[in-house]
Amino acid sequence: MDNREIDVTSKGREAFNLAMKLAFDSAPSGRATHYCIDRTQGFTLFWHADKDAIPLPISMDWTACADLVWAWIGQLPREEYKDPFDGDGSSSPEGWRVYTVRGGWSYTFAAIQAVWAWYPK
C-alpha cells in the first residue's frame, strides 16, 4: 500500500517493537533486504536493492531488524539524536521515531531516528 503512513515517536523497547511491526507491514515482502544510514533520515530500511542501499547480511523480518536497529540506537552519541527540546522542562536521549518513507520510485519503506524524549514542566 503506497499511501500508508506511520509516524510514531516514543521511548522504550516494547513500544519500539510495536512500531517496527507496523512499519514492516509497509514492505511488500514483510522483510528488509537493504539499509542505509544518513544524518537526515536515520536508519532507512528497503525491501529491495536500491541506489545507495547496503545489503543486509540476510533478509530480515521485523523482529530481527528491531534488534539490529535497537542496538544501533543504543550506541549513537548524543549529538546524533534529533529534535532536542527547547522549552521549559528537560529532555533525555532515550527516545526514537519510526516512520514510513515514501518518495517516488524507491524501495524504501521505513526509517528510524534516535530522538530526544521531552519532559516539559
Domain ranges of the chain: 7-120
Q: Report the alpha-carbon distance of residue 65 to residue 50 in Å, rounded.
A: 18
- Using DSSP's 3-state secondary structure scheme, residue 104 falls into coil
Average pLDDT over residues 87-109: 77
Note the pLDDT tens digit of each residue in 22-45: 999 988 889 999 999 988 889 999
Helix, strand, coil tally for the chain in percent (to 5):
25, 40, 35
Question: What is the model's pTM?
Answer: 0.87
